[in-house]
Amino acid sequence: MDQHQASNALSISISISFLHYRNLFALIIGIDNYPHITKLKGAVADANRFQSFLQDQVKVENNRIINLRDDQATREKIEEAFCSLWEKECIKYDDPIVIYFAGHGCKIPRPPHWEAGGRNEIEGIFPYDVQSDHRSGTSTGTFPIPDRTIAAWLNILSYKKGNNIVGGTSNTEFTG
């Protein structure tokens, strides 16, 4: 089997496994053009490809997908998108939910009052409107979204809609 045939076989097997997920919902975030930190190339394209896969292969309707790209993906809008998933009445308990993030990830100093398993850093994602001085812990603007915050949002979502939630990332750790 050549590479093209293998790719087609993988696509077909993925599509078949998702056929019973017509009731799937998704939140897809892609950020390339950060205004205060290094811009990325390809995060938005990755998010768009994932959206196309869900629509073209899995047959998920557009009204079941929340898309946030670049300046739409502020910290406030990302939080609102998570909230909308657990507030939507059309999402039934145990409907599958996919959350996909393509953008900068980071490690930031652990706040003194946070337990982090003995580590001095926590992980997070950068929304579009993050400021560049995140490592000092004294950001004057929007701070990264810590893993603990994302975990809290996912806990609420799983409590209200079931734990049929899948996450995926295509991110680059910010190093400077």
Tell how strand 65-69 and strand 145-146 pair up. unpaired
Q: What is the pLDDT of residue 13?
A: 45
Average pLDDT over residues 141-145: 83
50-59 confidence digits (pLDDT tens): 999 999 988 8
Show the domains of the chain with their CATH numbers.
Answer: 24-173 (3.40.50.1460)
pLDDT at 4 over 60: no
| Structure confidence at residue 111 as a pLDDT band (50, 70, 90) | confident
Q: What is the pLDDT of residue 17?
A: 52
Average pLDDT over residues 132-156: 77
Q: What is the mean pLDDT of the chain?
A: 82
Instruction: Find the range with the poorest average confidence among 77-81, 111-115, 117-121, 133-137.
Output: 133-137
d(CA 154, CA 165): 8
Q: What is the pLDDT of residue 132?
A: 61
Average pLDDT over residues 151-176: 80
Q: What is the pLDDT of residue 1?
A: 45
pLDDT at 175 over 50: no
Does the reported pTM lie above 0.85? Answer: no
- What whole-number percentage of the chain has pLDDT above 90? 55
